[in-house]
């Protein structure tokens, strides 16, 4: 196991989060996100893997097919910068609609990170998690990853939750571009 990975939340981290994103035509990447991910992937030679909760499926608001189409659209947009997400993992369940066992894949559980690590032979000690909410950062902690909280989502609420749980992110970034710059420096030992 030598491959590193950057695990990413999707909505609110890579792209704008309108809530239960099901329409590919509504996908809007954050400014600079595609270029930042392209540089990150080429400099570190790492996998880019999305880990997301998609409870809109359990709620009956969106379907798995819609989520898959949105994921395809994200990769289509990333191709403009000659990059792509290597794999998308998502949990379609929610405790209000599904069993506790089904919901074991929901962040902050690290279950999907461990599955991806196994699927791609990823060394988690060399890997990172970027997200916009406390569940992303706690998921990263639970998987033994360095974590970066981006301020493009639920940052204020998340910082409060994380402080109460004494799970402070490795770095807090304004956006995905700054997060990627931090990881490149940190990976090379410049931080």
Structural domain boundaries in the chain: 5-187
Least confident of 26-30, 121-125, 135-139, 160-164: 160-164
- Rounded CA-CA distance 105/93 in Å is 8
Q: Which residues are tagged catalytic?
A: 9, 11
Q: What is the structure's pLDDT at 24?
A: 98
The more confidently predicted of residues 191 and 162 is 162
Domain 5-187 CATH class label? alpha beta
Alpha-carbon distance values, 2 to 111, 115, 127, 145 (Å): 20, 16, 10, 15
Q: For residues 147 and 131, give the distance between their C-alpha atoms in angstroms, rounded to a whole number.
A: 8
Pairing of strands 171-173, 47-53: unpaired
Q: State the pTM of this model.
A: 0.95
Local confidence band at 172 (pLDDT 50, 70, 90 cut-offs):
very high
């Amino acid at each position: 196991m030598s491959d590193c990975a950057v695990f990413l939340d999707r909505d609110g981290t890579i792209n704008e989060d309108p809530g239960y994103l099901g329409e590919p035509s509504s996908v809007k990447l954050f400014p600079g996100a595609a270029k930042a991910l392209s540089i990150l992937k080429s400099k570190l030679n790492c996998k880019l893997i999305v880990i997301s909760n998609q409870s809109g499926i359990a709620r009956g608001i969106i379907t798995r097919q819609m989520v898959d189409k949105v994921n395809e659209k994200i990769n289509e947009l990333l191709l403009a910068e000659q990059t792509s997400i290597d794999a998308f993992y998502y949990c379609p369940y929610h405790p209000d609609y599904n069993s506790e066992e089904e919901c074991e894949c929901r962040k902050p559980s690290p279950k999907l990170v461990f599955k991806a690590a196994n699927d791609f032979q990823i060394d988690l000690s060399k890997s990172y998690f970027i997200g916009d909410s406390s569940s992303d950062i706690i998921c990263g902690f639970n998987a033994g990853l360095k974590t970066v909280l981006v301020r493009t989502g639920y940052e204020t609420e998340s910082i409060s939750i994380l402080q109460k749980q004494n799970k402070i992110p490795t770095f807090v970034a304004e956006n995905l571009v700054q997060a990627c710059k931090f990881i490149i420096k940190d990976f090379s030992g410049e931080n």
